[in-house]
C-alpha cells in the first residue's frame, strides 16, 4: 500500500494576523532558522517520496513553486478544487484528487515540531481502515493530522460539500472502520507531544512549553460507526448527487446513523419535514454512539448537527436540551468556538 503526503496551507491564518498590518502567510514565517512549512516538508519526505502542498489559489501556487522548487524539486503545489470554496474538507478533497496513492497522510502547515517517528507510528497502523487519527485523553481527535484511505475521501467529499458540510471530521463520521491512536502511546517517541503543537499566533513561535495534556483515554480505539456495505453508501451518494432521491434507502441505513441522517437531510426538502426530524434523532443517536466510545469531539459535532435540525423545526424543548449537552461537551474537550446554535446559553 502506497502513501502520499499532503500539507494543507490554504487557510487564511486569521489568528496570526495583526490589525492594520499587511496579511502574512503563516506557513512562510521563520521558525528556528527555516520557514515554518519547511520543517513539515522535511519530516514528510522522511516517510514518503511523494509530498504535495495544497494551497488556496493559483497565485499561491506560483508563490510556493517559486520559493520551494529549488530545494524540493519534486514537490507538488496544487490549488484547491474550484467550485466548493475554501475549507479543510476542500483541502482533503483536493489532496485525494491530486494524489494517486492508496492512502494520504494529511499534515497542517503550522506544526513545525512534527517528528518522523510519530508519522511512522500512524503509517504503521495503515490496513483496511478508512481513517487513522490521533486521539487525546479528553476525546479530541486530529482530523488534519491523520491518514485517509483515498477511495473513502473520493466517495464522500462531493456529497458532503454539496450539503454545505465543511468539517474534515465528517470523513471520520462517514467511515465504516477507523483507528484511533492514543497520544499517550506516542510519549516514548515524542515525550512532550510537540508534534501536535500548532502555531496559531505570532507569539506561539517563542513558546517553550507547548502541549498540555490531561488524564483520560490511554488505549487505542477501533470504531465501526457505519455498519453497512460500501455498496449501500455508494447508492446513497449516487441518489443524492443525481437528485434522484429514493426514500426507501432510509430503510437500509438503520445501522448507519451518519449516513441515515445525511440521506434524511437530502429528503426533507421534497418529501417533508418529517425527514428533518428523522435526521435530528439520528444525529443524536450518532452522538450517543461516540459518547459510549469516549470520542467526545465527534459526539459534540453530531450533537450540533442534531441541534441544527431541531432549530430549523422550531422545537424549543429539544433545542434547549441539546444546547445544554453541547455546552457541557464543549467544556470537556476544551474546544473554543462560538456555537452557532448555542447563542441562547452563552
CATH number of the domain that residue 14 is part of: 3.90.550.10
* Residue pair 113/14 in contact by the 8 Å Cβ criterion: no
One domain, residues 198 and 320: no
Three cell numbers written together for 301: 459535532
Q: Which domain holds residue 306?
A: 231-332
Neighbours of 313 (CB within 10 A): 16
Residue 336: predicted pLDDT: 47
One domain, residues 260 and 113: no
- Among 174, 190, 223, which residue terminates a domain? 223
Considering the domain boundaries, does residue 143 fall inside one?
yes
Residue 14: predicted pLDDT: 56
Three cell numbers written together for 145: 493530522
Residue 335: predicted pLDDT: 57
pLDDT tens digit at each of 346 positions of the chain: 899 999 999 765 555 555 555 567 889 989 999 999 999 999 999 999 999 999 999 999 999 999 998 999 999 999 999 988 889 999 999 999 999 999 999 999 999 999 999 999 999 999 999 999 999 999 999 999 999 999 999 999 999 999 999 999 999 999 999 999 999 989 889 988 999 988 876 666 666 555 666 678 889 999 999 999 999 999 999 999 999 998 999 999 999 999 999 999 999 988 999 999 999 999 999 999 999 999 999 999 999 999 999 999 999 999 999 999 999 998 888 654 433 333 333 3
pTM of this prediction? 0.92
Considering the domain boundaries, does residue 341 fall inside one?
no
Q: For cell 428523522, what's the residue?
A: 278
Give which of 274, 280, 282 is closest to 253, Cα–Cα: 282
Chain centroid to CA 294: 18
One domain, residues 118 and 239: no
One domain, residues 259 and 165: no
φ/ψ of residue 30, rounded to 5 = -85, 130
Considering the domain boundaries, does residue 337 fall inside one?
no
Residue 208: predicted pLDDT: 55
One domain, residues 197 and 96: yes
Residue 11: predicted pLDDT: 60
**Burial of residue 147, with CB atoms counted within 10 A of its CB: 0-12 exposed, 13-18 middle, 19 or more buried:** buried
Residue 180: predicted pLDDT: 98
Which is it for strands 221-223 and 178-182: parallel, antiparallel or unpaired? Answer: antiparallel
One domain, residues 215 and 240: no
Give which of 229, 233, 289, 301 is closest to 257, Cα–Cα: 289
Three cell numbers written together for 244: 434522484
Residue 94: predicted pLDDT: 97
Estimate the crossing angle of helix 257-271 against helix 274-292, to 10 degrees. 170
Three cell numbers written together for 265: 437531510
One domain, residues 124 and 62: yes
One domain, residues 214 and 313: no
Three cell numbers written together for 44: 514528510
Residue 204: predicted pLDDT: 66
One domain, residues 129 and 14: yes
One domain, residues 43 and 94: yes
- Among 191, 223, 255, which residue terminates a domain? 223
One domain, residues 19 and 132: yes
Three cell numbers written together for 212: 498540555
Task: Provide DSSP, 50-81.
Answer: -EEEEESSHHHHHHHHHHHTTT-TT-EEEEPP
Q: How many domains does the chain have?
A: 2
Neighbouring-strand partners of residue 44: none
Amino acid at each position: 500500500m502506497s502513501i502520499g503526503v499532503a500539507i494543507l496551507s490554504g487557510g487564511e491564518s486569521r489568528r496570526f494576523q495583526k490589525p492594520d498590518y499587511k496579511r502574512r502567510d503563516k506557513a512562510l514565517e521563520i521558525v528556528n532558522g527555516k520557514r515554518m512549512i519547511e520543517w513539515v516538508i522535511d519530516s514528510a519526505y522522511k516517510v514518503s517520496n511523494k509530498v504535495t502542498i495544497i494551497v488556496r489559489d493559483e497565485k499561491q501556487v506560483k508563490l510556493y513553486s517559486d520559493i520551494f522548487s529549488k530545494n524540493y524539486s519534486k514537490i507538488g503545489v496544487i490549488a484547491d478544487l474550484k467550485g466548493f470554496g475554501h475549507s479543510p474538507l476542500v483541502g482533503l478533497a483536493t489532496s485525494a484528487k491530486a494524489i494517486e496513492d492508496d492512502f494520504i497522510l494529511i499534515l497542517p502547515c503550522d506544526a513545525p515540531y512534527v517528528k518522523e517517528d510519530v508519522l511512522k507510528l500512524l503509517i504503521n497502523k495503515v490496513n483496511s481502515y478508512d481513517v487513522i487519527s490521533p486521539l487525546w485523553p479528553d476525546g479530541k481527535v486530529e482530523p488534519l493530522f491523520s491518514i485517509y484511505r483515498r477511495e473513502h475521501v473520493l466517495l464522500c467529499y462531493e456529497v458532503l460539500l454539496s450539503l454545505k458540510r465543511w468539517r474534515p471530521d465528517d470523513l471520520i463520521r462517514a467511515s465504516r472502520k477507523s483507528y484511533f491512536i492514543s497520544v499517550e502511546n506516542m510519549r516514548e517517541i515524542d515525550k512532550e507531544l510537540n508534534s501536535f503543537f500548532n502555531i496559531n499566533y505570532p507569539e506561539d513561535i517563542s513558546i517553550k512549553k507547548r502541549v498540555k495534556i490531561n488524564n483520560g483515554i490511554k488505549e487505542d480505539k477501533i470504531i465501526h460507526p457505519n455498519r453497512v456495505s460500501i455498496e449501500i453508501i455508494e447508492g446513497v451518494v449516487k441518489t443524492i448527487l443525481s437528485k434522484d432521491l429514493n426514500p426507501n434507502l432510509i430503510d437500509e441505513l438503520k445501522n448507519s446513523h451518519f449516513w441515515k441522517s445525511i440521506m434524511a437531510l437530502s429528503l426533507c426538502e421534497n418529501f417533508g419535514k418529517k425527514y428533518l426530524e428523522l435526521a435530528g434523532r439520528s444525529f443524536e443517536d450518532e452522538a450517543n454512539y461516540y459518547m459510549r466510545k469516549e470520542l467526545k469531539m465527534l459526539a459534540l459535532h453530531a450533537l450540533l448537527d442534531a441541534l441544527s435540525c431541531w432549530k430549523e423545526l422550531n422545537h424549543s424543548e429539544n433545542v434547549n436540551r441539546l444546547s445544554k449537552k453541547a455546552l457541557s461537551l464543549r467544556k470537556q474537550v476544551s474546544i473554543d468556538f462560538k456555537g452557532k446554535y448555542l447563542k441562547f446559553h452563552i
